[in-house]
């Protein structure tokens, strides 16, 4: 007796890969537009400016941290923690 078939569905192949230029193909590298490739990469990546926190948020976080530190210190002074 044969073992059961593990998968009856065909596996889908991943999408078409981008054309890569071989390292030894100097003529193709001469035609390659580096500036356009950099623009494409920049367009795909999220803006780094959005990742930076505004000064107000940083100040608020510092204030919260100092408040929490003060609370812990007070608790230790009173014999807690």
Domain ranges of the chain: 26-77
Task: Round to whole Å and give the CA distance between 26 and 44.
Answer: 27
Task: Round to whole Å and give the CA distance between 22 and 49.
Answer: 35
Overall average pLDDT of the 31-39 stretch: 91
Q: Whole-number mean pLDDT of the chain?
A: 79
pLDDT reading at 4 higher than 80: no
The label of the residue with tokens 């078409």 reads 16
- Cα angle 23, 24, 28 (rounded to 5 degrees) comes to 80
Secondary structure, 3-state, 7-36: CCCCCCCCCCCCCCCCCCCHHHHHHCCHHH
pLDDT reading at 49 higher than 60: no
- The predicted model scores a pTM of 0.34
């Amino acid at each position: 007796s044969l073992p059961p078939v593990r998968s009856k569905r065909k596996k889908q192949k991943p999408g078409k890969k981008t054309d890569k230029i071989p390292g030894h193909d100097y003529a193709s590298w001469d035609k390659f537009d580096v500036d356009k490739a950099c623009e494409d990469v920049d367009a795909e990546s999220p803006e780094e400016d959005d990742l930076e926190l505004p000064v107000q948020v940083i100040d608020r976080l510092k204030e919260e941290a100092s408040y929490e530190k003060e609370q812990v210190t007070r608790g230790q002074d009173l014999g807690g923690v």
